[in-house]
Structure 1
Amino acid sequence: MSGTTIARPRQLTCTFSRAARELGLRRGEFDLAVHLGRIRTVPDEGGGGRRVRRSEIERLQDRAEILRESVRAVGTTEAAGLMEIPAGRFTRFAKLGLVTPVTWYPNRYRAVVWLYLAEELRQFAADEKNARLLTGRTPEELRDRLRAGADQRARNWRGRHCGFLLRAAGGPWERAGVVAGFLDPGEIDQTLTDPHERAYVQAFRPAPPAHGAPGSPTALLAEELMTADEPDEIDWFRNDLARAVAEARTIHPVPRPVTHAQHPAPAQPRSAHGLRGWLHRRNAALARSFSPTEP
């Protein structure tokens, strides 16, 4: 036998973990780059999930530093420094929904730490239309909203995260499942009355971002943040779910279990007793017709 070694062909795609390592990104940075459309992915032909083409990695390797900076996410203190404003003012901006979190994590006290894209904060600060917000007194109408308890951070993150997931959804029922992922199960039951469609949509619901083992306090916190909690927001997700399911229904109706009523019962054969009786009478008649006549 020859000692020649046959080299394996290089794979055309690789996993997210491998792509992140080759681009020098932490996994969180890589996932954020995918969500933002900075890294293009393709479906995994092996079934389930997505992968990255080698050509995409090669395209990005020369600009890895630019890519890393474009997905840099910062907390309140660093965000305020980038915008050259006090941290308290930045927090007010975030609560009013003037800036939108891109992700979050729980600290050791299980409090939510919101993170914001540094790139977006610089753009906000550079926009002349926002100059009056960065200095001087906060406008009265905004202070009224803060006094009333306004805090749009979780809601705005949900809207943004929903957009990320919808862009990655592979079909109409997957898109419906994404929208359902932001509703309490009871709201889904009230919106989707067909049990088959409801079960199909539930199968495509995305899990909340992973922050701890299932059932742990941090996992429960993630589930809470993923679920719409204001009446108008709940109505928005319910209406969007109903529209998504109506669209999916016209493109690809939900497979339904075969029931007895959908198939007519086969014709019952004549009973063995009746058939034997008919054959007996026929054979008897034939025998009489061929019997010899008496002299």
Structure 2
Amino acid sequence: MNRDVTLRLLRYFETLGRELNYRRAAERLYISQPALSSAIRQLEGSVGARLFDRDTHSVSLTEVGREWLPHVRSALREVDSALDAAASIVDSARVRIGYLIGTGADLLFQLLDGVDQALPGLTVETTEFDFTDPSAGLASGACDIALLRPPVDVPDLQSVVVAEESWVACLPRTHRLAGRTELRIEELLDEPLVVAPGSAGVWRDYWMASDARGGRPAHVAAEAATYEAETTLIARGVGISFTTSSLRRLYDRPGIRFVPILDRPVSYTCLAWRPDRLSAPAWRLVQHLRDRIPATREHP
């Protein structure tokens, strides 16, 4: 038996063992059914035996699964008890929330409204991150929970959608396309771009529309780590950028124009966390915040 089994996998096993239904278990865990199936296969590989029998009509525990489940439940109770004890030792539990610049003003403080009353004794610290770290502190461990815009380079990330936005092009006021009411991405792929720093990784690639280029390199005119720097460069005519529709309201100013891009996928703003790294107070805050999000769903 491979004993390198994570707490997350044990929680997945316990939930599926209780529900005996992949859809319901995945909904309870706020993950997709394929992600749950993959996790169970990983756990079965570590244990060295099948834990569930599954056909088109039903899911049932194998003999190994039935005998092991009470031990897993007992272990999880002990872990939760230990985490709760650790939290109670601290006079004021501290949870660190990071948010990507441009998301906090609109969303974070709405989510945090009333937390003091709902979770007394919890101290919430918020930190704004610029484009050099679009994971908003999750990748480095600087934060426990983050409000961000996927995709980001963070393993084992779980998230729920807080908001959806469309793509817009941010153009200099004098740009030849600035008077248009709508654009398609193909019209913009040869334009000089103002982009995030290289440390942004896949997030930078996403906002360069790399998937639409068919291997063509982007013309990077400048890098900017904040929306202020980005819009200033664009107003000067250095280049254009691709961004979200909320920027029309938050950062509109003389010298730039925002034009909707019709044929790009939805951009999501998500509440995100790394389950294996959450303290008991942080997990309680995640649950509280998740309950405040209408029609909560996992990020696709």
TM-score (norm 1): 0.24
Higher strand share goes to which structure?
Answer: 2
TM-score (norm 2): 0.24
